[in-house]
Amino acid sequence: MPEPRTTRPKKSASRKSSKTPAEPAPPPPQRQRRSLTQRGGAITVRGDQALSAILSKALTASSQEPLDDLTHGFHTYPARMHPEIASVLVAELSQPGESVLDPFVGSGTVLIEALAQGRRGVGVDLNPLALRIAHVRCQLRDRAARSRFLRTLSAVATASEDSVRSRAVVKVPVERSERAFYDPHVLLELSGLWGEIGHVTEPLDRNALEVVFSSLLVKFSRQRGDTTEELIDKRIRKGLVTEFFERKGQELAQRWEALYESAPRDATAVKLVAGDARRLADLAPKGYSADLVLTSPPYGGTYDYLSHHARRYAWLSLNDEPLRTHEIGARRNMSQVTGALGRWDRELSSALLAMASVLAKHGQVVLWMGDADIGGTRVAADEQVERLAAKVGLRVLAAAAQARPDFRRPEPRREHLLLLGHSR
């Protein structure tokens, strides 16, 4: 059994403290949280005592008011990992300078923590939108780069407002079927902004503005939310889209500042790789090994990233082929029990095998997973992982679970933190 690493690593010098070397460093900004009275049920743990105590600590932290500091809260993402879970587990299970891998990186929660805590973060995802969001969230931008971004943001908003007000002909860059999701004046404002963003020549700023734009799309469409196709009437006054665009951009710049100030001076930029998490050995550079794999694979039969991101794919002209063909656990493939149970087993098993193939000898894998929902049948994620891990040379060393509200059903769903190591 790998040696449990339970001590919290010391933080390396942050940028803030580097500015006044002669004076005592100011205390780091407190990441304060309030307890929520009803976020989940009782936590149950099993396995190695020290390791399950760490998992329980992470679950307890995530039952409190969300820690949406740094760049965490920027841009919604279905089934985003609780930042508290990432924060506690990166701190407790890895050391500064070690490599932390998230093969289902999504919007980058784990990598933000890896960056802020001085680890070398690597993220993989099939979804080009996920990689765009994670890339923007994980940028270490100094004051000059943030100011340049803010000037560009303001110029884009003003130019778009002017062209919409003067009733200049604004090209609507999406198909007719997509236009139906927006009120005409909203569509006009969005198209004006999109056109102006297209004129930005600095690639990092243009990419960041596109992601700011993406963060508005579902909010200002007729779609009720990211994970539902239900359409509702939203009363959106003229000018609000542009105002919101500017506000979100300003919020992003503030969040970048918080991340920049928290990260150690010698922080290594994160690496993001487009690809299938079941092929990690092919995607990783030769000789790469992960000290910690911390990840949240899709919850079987629950989400459908292809449809959740349809609005954004259309505007950003993203290629949906990788998700359409290789997304694992997708709800669209798991509505019937027959065949789907075996399919979900095979998909998860290949992902575990791939994690084992790049895991350092002493390394640990931590999965954050909810029970699957296959054709209306709940599949306990802890039992499934335990069974599959044994076949790929891994072993569950500790586990913690908690029942939490399920957005699709009235009864709660159990969510698990499962810690695995190589079996010997």
Ligand X SMILES: C[S@@+](CC[C@H](N)C(=O)[O-])C[C@H]1O[C@@H](n2cnc3c(N)ncnc32)[C@H](O)[C@@H]1O
What is the contact surface with ligand X in residues (CB under 6 A)?
77, 79-81, 104, 106-107, 109, 124-127, 130, 276-278, 296, 298, 305, 326-328
Of 56 and 109, CB closest to ligand X: 109
User: Max CA-CA distance within the chain?
Assistant: 71
Minimum separation from the CB atom of position 65 to ligand X (A): 18
- Cα distance between residue 131 and residue 8, in whole Å: 29
Distance of CA 149 to the CA centre of its chain: 23
Of 130 and 392, CB closest to ligand X: 130
Of 104 and 182, CB closest to ligand X: 104
Of 58 and 200, CB closest to ligand X: 58
Of 122 and 145, CB closest to ligand X: 122
What is residue 141's three-state secondary structure?
coil
Of 314 and 351, CB closest to ligand X: 351
The answer to whether the beta carbons of residues 311 and 387 sit under 8 Å apart is no
Of 120 and 309, CB closest to ligand X: 309
The answer to whether the beta carbons of residues 226 and 304 sit under 8 Å apart is no
Burial bucket for residue 23 (CB in 10 Å: 0-12, 13-18, 19+): exposed
Minimum separation from the CB atom of position 313 to ligand X (A): 12
Residue 410 Rama label (left phi>0; alpha psi -120 to 50; beta)? alpha
Minimum separation from the CB atom of position 242 to ligand X (A): 27
Closest CA to 294 of 128, 83, 131, 118: 83
The closest residue (CB) to ligand X is: 106
Residues 6+ apart with CB under 8 A from 234: 183, 220, 222
What is residue 6's three-state secondary structure?
coil
Of 191 and 333, CB closest to ligand X: 333
Query: Per the structure block, which two tokens stand in for 89?
Result: 């587990």
Minimum separation from the CB atom of position 297 to ligand X (A): 6
Of 351 and 399, CB closest to ligand X: 351
- The beta strand positions in 104-256, using DSSP E, are 120-125, 223-225, 228-231
Minimum separation from the CB atom of position 398 to ligand X (A): 20
Residues 6+ apart with CB under 8 A from 358: 101, 280, 281, 284, 288, 289, 290, 293
Minimum separation from the CB atom of position 365 to ligand X (A): 14
Minimum separation from the CB atom of position 376 to ligand X (A): 21
Backbone angles phi, psi at 291, to 5 degrees: -75, -35
Query: Per the structure block, which two tokens stand in for 262?
Result: 């928290």
The helix (H) or strand (E) run that includes residue 385 is helix 381-391
Distance of CA 167 to the CA centre of its chain: 38
- Cα distance between residue 166 and residue 15, in whole Å: 46
Strand partners of residue 293: 101, 365
Minimum separation from the CB atom of position 295 to ligand X (A): 7
The length of the chain in residues reads: 424
The answer to whether the beta carbons of residues 352 and 328 sit under 8 Å apart is no
Minimum separation from the CB atom of position 22 to ligand X (A): 39
Minimum separation from the CB atom of position 330 to ligand X (A): 7
- Cα distance between residue 30 and residue 24, in whole Å: 17
- Cα distance between residue 418 and residue 55, in whole Å: 8
Of 196 and 327, CB closest to ligand X: 327
Of 146 and 326, CB closest to ligand X: 326
Residues 6+ apart with CB under 8 A from 411: none
Minimum separation from the CB atom of position 40 to ligand X (A): 17
